[in-house]
Amino acid sequence: MSSDEGSEYEYEYESDYGGSQPDEGEEEMIDETAVKIENTFYEADDCKNTDPTRALQLFLQVISLQADAPKDNKDHTKYQFMSLENIVKLCANLGKPDEMIAHYEEMLQLLPNVTRNECTDSINSILDIVSSLSSTIISKMYTITLQALRTANNDRLWFQTNIKLGKLYLELGEYANLHRVLEQLQASCKLADGSDDTSKATSLLDVYCLEIQLCTATNDTAKMKVLYPKTLGLDAAISDPRIMGVIREEGGKMYMSEGLWSEAYNEFFESFRNYQEAGNARAKQCLKYVVLANMLASSDINPFDSREAKVFKDVDEINAMLLLRAAYDTNDIQQFEKILKNPKNQISSDPLMKRYLDPLLRNIRCHVILKLVGPYQSVLLSSIAQDMNISVQDVELLMVELINDGRLHRKIDQQNGVLYSLEHQKAREIGSKTVEALAKWTQALSALNAGLQSRPVGIKSM
């Protein structure tokens, strides 16, 4: 082959492959780097639960190796993103907040290189972990997350992350911060004229749900009454049992605070049904509220007759409520109080249940009083108090309440501690008047007799 031919051959080689090619040694180096990245990642993943410090070092090594790898290799980017996610979590668990934040910012820069599902799963799992850290760190993590999502134009995840932050502030009792989050969420669901964008009904329900929970936490009943009808209107357009379960529960609490037991019962039952449909474990707790409101309303409807409630009959806590309802129906005050006081039943440990135990006890005690005094024309208050194991003063207060409500047609003789029926009272009044009249008549006869005896007797003449 001549030198000219060799030259031509060399030229054609370059034109066929678009330029010079890496030699075998360089190709092997690239392959070895890829293999080392993958092996190091899985070695770190295997020991992250048993030796987190060692795992952190290995994940950091993956990032270091990645710096020498081709930038356009998607597999390498995947390992880089997953390694940074694990580094952030390990730093959080190992108490290294500054490193955690720095690596998290680095991870967020890779969002355009991963799918939205991968992005959502990673961010949510990290934010769940940092929720147990200080409020300053939580605020910083959420701030940089929301900024990155805005930059990435991921509006859906931005909205859901704000909802997540709002729920966290609600749980922590940081209501001022929650107000700021709600303002941003509300603005994202408004039209140009400031009205609600009904095309975003699902998002609006999320915002209203969070706002209603804030109203409950701050006892803002006035605002709650304005918001609540709006949520029911949106529910008619788009029903989401996950959200409506929460909203209906808060509505039940609102009616409970106003003493509207029947309305509260209806709301709690709807909440229970929504929770059950959504597979939310809160359904069990809400069923307790259903029974509570049902008894306070003195309803003849047994909530356990419904198909939805029957599923929970074998659950210990719910079975306790079933027994409580049975004791209520039979006016068995001793059994009723025994069930309430048993800590295994977890009735008085719930804040809402505990708040309404007093009116619930008063309710059943009123039923018991009506049952005890029914057959008698008169009865001693002390006897009723002994049967119910409460003080005479408490019995008298309950009787006064029943009389004022028109449920007990009796009168109380406080001086003698006796409860009289109206008929008996009338008989006593008639008897008293008769005795009084007889006494007056006797006095008149005595006076007349005394007058006759004092008159002088005439003497006959011889």
| CB atoms closer than 10 angstroms to residue 222 | 8
Give residue 73's pLDDT.
55
> Judging by DSSP bridges, how do beta strands 418-421 and 410-413 pair with one another?
antiparallel
- Look at residue 196 in the predicted model and tell me its pLDDT: 86
- Residue tagged 């409506």 (tokens): 244
Residue type, 373: V
Choose the CATH number for 33-152 among 1.10.10.10, 1.10.150.450, 1.10.1060.10, 1.25.40.10: 1.25.40.10
Q: How many degrees, rounded to 5, is the angle at CA 149 between CA 143 and CA 155? A: 120
CB environment 91-118: b (16+ within 10 A), e (fewer): bbeeebbebbbebbbebbebbeebeeeb
Measure the CA–CA gap between 167 and 155, rounded to whole angstroms: 18
pLDDT of the chain along its 462 residues, tens only? Answer: 444 444 443 434 343 334 445 455 545 445 677 888 889 999 999 999 999 999 999 999 999 988 766 665 556 688 899 999 999 999 999 999 999 999 999 999 999 888 999 999 999 999 999 988 988 999 999 999 999 999 999 999 999 999 999 999 999 999 999 999 999 999 999 988 888 888 888 898 899 999 999 999 999 989 999 999 888 877 655 678 889 999 999 999 999 999 999 999 999 999 999 999 999 999 999 999 999 999 899 888 888 888 888 888 888 888 898 888 888 888 888 898 889 888 888 888 888 988 998 888 888 888 888 888 888 888 899 998 988 888 999 999 999 988 888 888 888 888 888 888 866 445 454 455 566 666 676 776 776 667 666 665 554 444
The amino acid sitting at 77 is T
DSSP string, 171-236: HHT-HHHHHHHHHHHHHHTB-TTSSB-GGGHHHHHHHHHHHHHHHHHTT-HHHHHHHHHHHHHHHH
Domain 375-436 has what CATH class?
Answer: mainly alpha
Task: For residue 339, give Cα distances in angstroms to 307, 361, 365, 366, 389.
Answer: 25, 12, 15, 18, 16
Give CA–CA dist 248/236, Å, rounded. Answer: 13
What pTM did the predictor assign?
Answer: 0.73
Name the token pair of 43.
Answer: 């070695």
- The rounded distance, in Å, linking the Cα atoms of 258 and 236 is 26
Asked if 108 contacts 145 with a C-beta cutoff of 8 angstroms, the reply is yes
Calpha distance 259→29 (Å, rounded): 77
CB within 8 Å of 350: residues ≥ 6 apart: 285, 288
Q: How far is CA 171 from CA 167, 176, 177, 207, 251, in A?
A: 6, 13, 12, 16, 19
Write the DSSP symbol of residue 455.
Answer: S
Domain ranges of the chain: 33-152, 279-373, 375-436
Q: Determine the pLDDT at residue 88.
A: 96
Give the span between the Cα atoms of 360 and 300, in whole angstroms. 15
